[in-house]
Amino acid sequence: MIKVEKTELEGVLLIKPDFFKDHRGEYIEIYNEKLYKEKGINIDFVEDDISISRKNVIKGVHGNQSTWKLISCLHGKIHLVVINYDEKSEGFGKWQAFVLSEENKHQVLVPPKHGNGHLCLSNKSIFHYKQSTYYDPDSQFTIKWNDPKFNMRWPVKNPILSKRDEEGGYVQK
């Protein structure tokens, strides 16, 4: 079973999968097409990706115009920010933060025209996401993590960043 909750951002869903835990460990089904479709999530995912980070690393904020992402944290703890980057939407520039961890097992469904970025809060995190399209670097946009236009709040002052994430910028082909 899964519980699906609407968030403050139109189209963004918080998903809470059930899991089993006993003296031997834990079991979680992180995706079951039938269960997700029963909850109205009718997305065909074509790619799974994993990103491993160390404490204080921010990866993103990235997105494109056509990709759905189902995001979870398999190990550790992350601060996930999702932002509406649809310039034609009333919600353009609105963002929301979530804490995903191996403990809470929560997932966030991110629609197209939204960016997402995450900060590793633990010593190490394993960030997992399913995508509805194949990765195409030429279709990606990048929003600078501290762009004053959006005022996204992060619980870190001096994050570790890639050159792309430090500079930001929009690419659309």
Structure tokens at 152: 């996204």
For the chain, first and last CA: distance in Å?
Answer: 39
Q: Which of 62, 106, 114, 118 is catalytic?
A: 62
Asked about 62 being catalytic, the answer comes back as yes
| Residue 31 annotated as catalytic | no
Long-range contacts, stretch 90-95, CB < 8 angstroms, 24+ apart: 91/9, 91/10, 93/149, 93/150, 94/8, 94/9, 95/9, 95/150, 95/152
Could you tell me the two tokens for 18? Answer: 């059930």
Catalytic site residues?
A: 62, 129
